[in-house]
Chains A and B, each alone.
Chain A
Amino acid sequence: MNKIFDKTSIVLIAIFIVATIFFWLSFHIPVLDHAIPMYKNRIDAGVFPKVLTGLIMVLSIIVIYLDYKTAKSGKLKKNDIVFFKDSETRNRIIANFVLVFLSAIFFNVLGAFLTIFFFVLIYLWIWGIRKLSLLLLTPLFVDLGIYVIFYRLLSVRLPKGILENIL
């Protein structure tokens, strides 16, 4: 495999970028006036975030460098580079990510029960289920279970969304 970066490096580059952003933001946290006697020995609120993000940055670079050395020596296997074993798995996971993100967006708007219904239905569809009874009854029973346990028994005020006037 003649790749320079394996999948670990890609994730660590993302972590490094996030750590760098927060390292920079740490310098914008207000500092105490240490001239005032009561603040003389106080450690500022920004110290810990600076140290933590700084350490994450340094360690990320070390891991990226070590992985780079492995990649250069040609010891990388296919499994070290690809995130998914085949394109079908990749597509299914991406579809699941999109589904979960959309569900989070619509949780308040459509309401919990409708979102759950469509989430389960679409998930089954992505899995390859085409049996109509399974496609309709499974989300219905999941919704019913959530309604009885959380909404009725535990009194969780789940968002009702467009079903506000019905439920």
Chain B
Amino acid sequence: MFENIILGLNTIVDPLNLVYVLFGVTIGITVGAMPGLTSTMGAALVLPFTFFLEPIPAIAMLSALYCGAIYGGSISAILINTPGTGAAAITTLDGYELTRQGEAGKALGVAVVASSLGGLFSVFVLMLVAPQVAKIAISFGAPEYFALSFFGISMVVNLKTGEELKNIIGGLFGIFISTVGIDAMTGYQRFTFNNTDLMNGISFIPVMIGLFAATEFYRQSERTVARSIVHLENISKLPSIIEFWSLRWTILRSAIIGTFIGILPAEGGTVSSFISYNEAKRWSKNPEKFGTGILEGVAAPEAANNAATGGAMIPTMTLGIPGSSTTAVILGGLMIQGMRPGPLLFTSQPKFVYSVFVAMFIANIFFLILGLFGAKVFAQVGKIPLYILNPIILVLCFVGSFSLNNNVADVWIMVIAGFSGYFMKKVGFSGIPIALGMILGEIIEVSFRQTGTLFDNNFAVFFTRPYSAVFMFLAIISLLWPIIIRKISLKKNSSDV
């Protein structure tokens, strides 16, 4: 493993690769700091630029953007009470309160240090755990891949409480979209309507750009405030070393929680930041002070949401199952580069895999430096008027979709995905299940049908082989989780009465 890390380090320290990592981090922080623009959207917009790069700089840049954007979300959360990304939503509680008390610098300082430490911890775990997972996964056959993908898609149920059925519909819809085109196992056309553009299926990239970027264009167009008010008082006043030291256990606990939750397919930074905040409050000597402007309230969610980035890369790289919506876009970028994410990637492309890991490590250091010395500059992006920003986003959606295959059909796919995504989001659907369904759809269908062919249509095999049985069991638990939780809370309520 160490020789592979050295190999990755040697590749990434190439000045040009470092420039791409720095570029990714800078774009990430900028996107993250803009209210409403998510890390997924940033990755979707930058994705077309990576078509023209070699695999290592392309994925290193996207991964660096991911790290930077998750940190960047805290800047607007702290300064303007509007989280730049969903993962920073809970940072507003104490972060903005500190800004109101004239302690914006302290809040920003804690946010960047906690984010960086959380991120570094998770990349360390990623380097340690991912190769072991890949070693196990190399023995997987069709039943295991089906069970694993089924588990991955089942996780969407728990994305948003109260919207479980919609999450399932979204996931099914995503899998359905992946069936369009020529069937890989029989050669028959499915829903192509003899249109040559549909023969190879519906491209994943324009759908992602439509769902995550064009949808946001419409949502931002609803806003009537052209620009946000940014508080920049005392922005350079950082916390003292003693204040930082007092946060060490909060940061470590949150980093562990964030990394673990990040590993779970489809669960990203948002869930981990909320859980870490609650845990920090539970463990704190002053839980009543949470929400009144306490540094722990900033450190906990920020360490957790950045720790989720490394965690989310574990299933993405080892199994081809995205750990979050942004890693779903990164996965799309990998596929465009001709890479098939999965255990074989670790044996066939160790240089690539470890270069990406090292790039993420360096990205966490880069944004620490940029955040400590340049938060004031990034804070200014919140001032860019929406009427300038919005059309640029859509123009990038158009040009980005077109540049995939130099084909207007992809532009239309993006337009339709954006239009549908906007209305679906209005009624509580999320783009993540659809994206996950599209990515996992092919593996789910092909592995299921291969299992049928190999085992004489005896599908009990999913429950008789050890690994597949474990994944099927986890999938069933995941699907039933909302019901279990409801039953537990009902029981708790009745016993309280």
B-binding residues in A (CB < 8 A): 7-8, 11-12, 15, 22, 25, 29-30, 32, 41-46, 48-49, 52-53, 55-56, 59-60, 62-63, 66, 83-85, 89, 92-93, 96-97, 100-101, 103-104, 107-108, 112, 115-116, 119-120, 123-124, 127, 129, 138, 142, 146, 150, 154-159
* Distance of B168 from chain A, by nearest CB (Å): 6
The docked-state distance in angstroms from the alpha carbon of A62 to that of B419 is 24
A interface, over-half SS: helix
Q: Is the CB of B423 within 8 A of A83?
A: yes
In the bound complex, residues from chain A placing their C-beta under 8 Å from that of B239 are none
Instruction: Apart from A25-B191, A29-B183, A48-B179, list 15 A-B contacts with CB within 8 A.
Output: A7-B426, A11-B424, A41-B453, A56-B172, A59-B169, A93-B221, A101-B415, A108-B408, A116-B398, A123-B387, A127-B226, A142-B392, A146-B395, A146-B399, A154-B49
Residues of B within 8 A of A45 (CB): 183, 185-186, 188, 190
Q: Which of B410-462 contact A (CB under 8 A)?
A: 411-412, 415, 418-419, 423-424, 426-429, 445, 448-449, 452-453, 456-457
CA distance A107 to B403 in the complex (A): 13
Q: How many residues of B contact A (CB 8 A)?
A: 58
A63 and B423 within 8 A (CB): no
| CB < 8 Å neighbour of B168 from A12, A59, A108, A127 | A59
Q: For the complex formed, measure the closest distance between the CB of A21 and the CB atoms of chain B, giving whole angstroms.
A: 10
Residues of B within 8 A of A92 (CB): 221-222
Interchain CB contact under 8 A, B185 and A154: no
Q: Is there contact, CB below 8 Å, between B190 and A49?
A: yes
Q: Quick check: B391 and A124 within 8 Å, CB to CB?
A: yes
Q: How far is the CA of A154 from the CA of B403 in the complex (A)?
A: 9
Task: List the 3 closest A-B pairs by CB distance, nearest first.
Answer: A45-B183, A8-B427, A127-B387
Contact: A56 with B176, CB < 8 Å? yes
Inter-chain contact A49/B191, CB cutoff 8 Å: yes
| A46 cross-chain contacts in B, Cβ below 8 A | 190
Which B-chain residue is minimally distant from A7 (CB atoms)? B427
Q: Kindly list chain A residues whose C-beta atoms are within 8 Å of the C-beta of B445.
A: 48
B408–A11 CB distance below 8 A: no
Q: Is B390 an interface residue (CB 8 A)?
A: yes
- The smallest beta-carbon distance between B459 and chain A, in angstroms, is 10
Nearest CB of B to A12, in Å = 8
Interface string of B385-399 (1 = CB under 8 A from A): 011101110110011
Produce 1/0 per residue, B457-469, CB < 8 A to A. Answer: 1000000000000
Q: How distant is the Cα of A150 from the Cα of B173 in the complex, in angstroms?
A: 33
